[in-house]
Structure 1
């Protein structure tokens, strides 16, 4: 299947794909689904609410039927390293099994910048994401892994999860945050470009302290909260001192925080 798009006087033909989005009902999943559909692709939303469970493999055979590429933005938030590693490894095995059965030609995984950095080992969730990457690499399915920094939306999510009435706990982190919508578009670009292994890390255009960023977002939203910065046990010093920042060869993409706030 193909479509015609027009840029000036040039007519380009682009192949359409059938894309399954794991975690397609979450924040990032919805953005990827929208971006893919806007580009004319056929999208399968795969989530527990649509009958797909990556922890058991339930529903994946049907979801992957006729699919060209799978985008995995599913999540399992826990800071227990043993639980995180077990979940992500098991899920990756279930996904790869269903992909092989369906003949899927490309697996695209969203991961986190520096999730395998030894300085961040105490953060169990990162150990889980690193294990997920290794499982994808060993699966035999052609893949692309895109690591991104924290999103602007991370601040609001943290407040909703760690908020207690008028008070909220916010981790002390130095990051180069990026807009979730920018990440979604980059994931779609990965799909359309084909398997490339590890893609360049994706980050925003400016270094920001997460507590300060969160405070700015809440002020612009008209929300009044007392934010209390806290250090993540075992990894706090590393997170404050630059362990979350991307290294050489990373991609920087806007908008800035101010541009993102103004657009919203």
Structure 2
């Protein structure tokens, strides 16, 4: 099978590429480093020739609602339209567990992406996953100043990025289903706890101060909605402690 992976050099995409290759598939990376800009559509036509499945693992660092919505709507539209022209049989998109009631900031972009895919008429599967273990390092890099890190109040069941990439590959190997079962981690953590444990593991001397963000976005991420439902979701196996010991530096 020929599988094109948008964002194939990113945190999740690179794991999806490795999983596809390990299963004997022809993995096509859609990234700027490979001459493809999905936001403008440049390079897409050539790279999608002969592709059976598109996996969309694209990401944007923006927390602006306007920018996130524009990015995910535009990139999804380009992938869907180009895929339809080239007979792509299955469009798989990575989204986030529990965001239905948090139509704000970055999550508004992901919800707009889901709606764009659902309205396209293209055979698709939306695969939602919990926040990644890697999220602790990503957030702390942007919220630290000197000896202090501010951690937004966030409750989730984090999952390893490697397992998310493998999950996307399993979804890509099956028929379009509209929605795949959610993928969540084996344990419940606050973001502040994850960062503190990461600092302790790394020997970082920095105080972590947890703060509830204002507004609907802050209420949403603190509510526990991002944990997903362990009763219906698939559960990853890698704990945060295992990830710290085995994968933190490898990433």
TM-score tier by shorter-chain length is over 0.9
**RMSD between superposed Cα atoms in Å:** 1.5
Residue by residue over 1:61-91, the C-alpha shift from the partner in whole angstroms, topping out at 9 and shown as x without a partner, is: 0111111111100012322222222221122
How far, CA to CA, are the matches of 2:138 and 2:200 in structure 1?
15
1:263 alignment counterpart: 246
Shift of 1:224: 2.3
How far, CA to CA, are the matches of 1:187 and 1:32 in structure 2?
6
Shift of 1:32: 0.9
Instruction: Tell me: CA distance 1:207–1:53, structure 2 relative to 1, closer, same or farther (3 Å).
Output: same
Superposed, 1:138-177 pairs within 5 Å as 138-177=119-158
Residues 1:236 and 2:218 are matched in the alignment: yes
* Alignment TM-score, normalising by the size of structure 2: 0.92
1:65 alignment counterpart: 49
2:200 alignment counterpart: 219
Out of 209, 227, 234, which is 1:245 matched to? 227
On the 8 A contact 1:116/1:127 being kept in 2, the answer is: no
Out of 14, 23, 26, which is 2:7 matched to? 23
Larger radius of gyration: 1
Residue by residue over 1:203-244, the C-alpha shift from the partner in whole angstroms, topping out at 9 and shown as x without a partner, is: 001111110111102211222222222223313233223121
How far, CA to CA, are the matches of 2:220 and 2:60 in structure 1?
23
2:94 alignment counterpart: 110
On the 8 A contact 2:184/2:233 being kept in 1, the answer is: yes
Q: Match of 1:169, SS?
A: strand
How far, CA to CA, are the matches of 1:150 and 1:64 in structure 2?
29
Unaligned 5+ segments in structure 1 are: 1-16
Q: Which structure is richer in relative contact order (CA contacts within 8 A, separation 6 or more)?
A: 2
On the 8 A contact 1:86/1:128 being kept in 2, the answer is: yes
Shift of 1:42: 0.7
